[in-house]
């Protein structure tokens, strides 16, 4: 069976950026998703279309094909008061390197990374962590099958319930496979 629209696909892969391993999906913990549902990057899926179990892949996505260019305007300074709980700055959750769910002025959900905590401000980056990066994927297709009713139901629950991982992009897409 070949990878095509509405098939459940499982993969192993190494994701490298500038020769550094960023993410790994193994046979014990493969990446599994429904193809064509918008769960993965469009260019990622395009490179897998038509492959079968046992097929190996090796491709590179440019920043434009992946998470876009790094946008300087997405790095913002917010008053420390935004992060107060009961009138006190939340030091347990707000620290350099933390990734936080935030809401913009239009009510949209997005993730931000804390770059720096200063006396009166918190510097946050709302770019995707891999924005501006060229992504190299190398791996193998380990399973392709028609989705069972139980898998379709599980996908519906994950979409309805949202995602509680730290890898969701600012566009609302999830990169963690949950």
pLDDT, tens only, 51-64: 999 999 999 999 99
Query: Considering the domain boundaries, does residue 174 fall inside one?
Result: no
Residues 61 and 81 in one domain: no
| Type and span of the H or E element at 136 | strand 135-146
**What are the C-alpha distances in Å from 145 to residues 2, 48, 76, 119?**
9, 14, 44, 54
Q: Stretch 18-34: mean pLDDT, rounded?
A: 96
Assess whether pLDDT exceeds 70 at residue 104. Answer: yes
Query: Considering the domain boundaries, does residue 34 fall inside one?
Result: yes
Give the Cα separation of 46 and 36 in Å (integer): 9
Residues 120 and 135 in one domain: no
Give the Cα separation of 63 and 133 in Å (integer): 5
pLDDT for residue 42: 97
**81, 105, 125: which is the final residue of a domain?**
125
Give the Cα separation of 114 and 116 in Å (integer): 6
* Pairing relationship of beta strands 88-89 and 84-85 according to DSSP bridges: antiparallel
| Type and span of the H or E element at 43 | helix 42-48
Residues 22 and 49 in one domain: yes
- Banded pLDDT at 105 (limits 50, 70, 90): confident
Residues 63 and 89 in one domain: no
Query: Considering the domain boundaries, does residue 177 fall inside one?
Result: no
Residues 155 and 80 in one domain: no
Q: Quote the number of domains for the chain.
A: 2
Query: Considering the domain boundaries, does residue 14 fall inside one?
Result: yes
Give the Cα separation of 86 and 106 in Å (integer): 24
The structure tokens 């990374």 sit at 113
Give the Cα separation of 57 and 159 in Å (integer): 28
Residues 62 and 136 in one domain: yes
Residues 18 and 51 in one domain: yes
Residues 34 and 119 in one domain: no
CATH number for position 92: 2.40.10.330
Q: Domain span at residue 119?
A: 72-125
Residues 53 and 82 in one domain: no
This prediction's pTM: 0.75
Specify whether the CB–CB gap between 71 and 127 falls below 8 A: yes
CATH number for position 12: 3.10.50.40
Query: Considering the domain boundaries, does residue 176 fall inside one?
Result: no
Q: What percent of the chain has pLDDT over 90?
A: 77
Distance from CA of residue 52 to its chain's centroid? 24
The structure tokens 């090796």 sit at 58
Residues 95 and 140 in one domain: no
Residues 16 and 61 in one domain: yes
């Amino acid at each position: 069976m070949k990878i095509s629209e509405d098939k459940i696909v499982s993969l192993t892969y190494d994701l490298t950026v500038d020769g550094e391993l960023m993410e790994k999906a193994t046979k014990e913990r493969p990446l599994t998703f429904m193809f064509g549902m918008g769960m993965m990057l469009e260019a990622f899926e395009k490179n897998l279309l038509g492959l079968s179990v046992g097929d190996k892949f090796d491709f590179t996505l440019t920043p434009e094909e992946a998470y876009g260019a790094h946008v300087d305007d997405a790095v913002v300074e917010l008053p420390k008061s935004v992060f107060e709980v009961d009138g006190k700055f939340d030091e347990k959750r707000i620290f350099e390197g933390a990734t936080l769910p935030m809401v913009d002025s239009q009510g949209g959900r997005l993730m931000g990374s804390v770059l720096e905590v200063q006396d009166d401000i918190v510097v946050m980056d709302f770019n995707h962590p891999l924005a501006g990066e060229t992504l190299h994927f190398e791996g193998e297709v380990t399973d392709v099958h028609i989705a069972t009713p139980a898998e379709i139901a599980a996908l519906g629950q994950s979409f309805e319930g949202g995602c509680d991982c730290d890898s969701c992009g600012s566009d609302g897409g999830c990169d963690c496979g949950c």
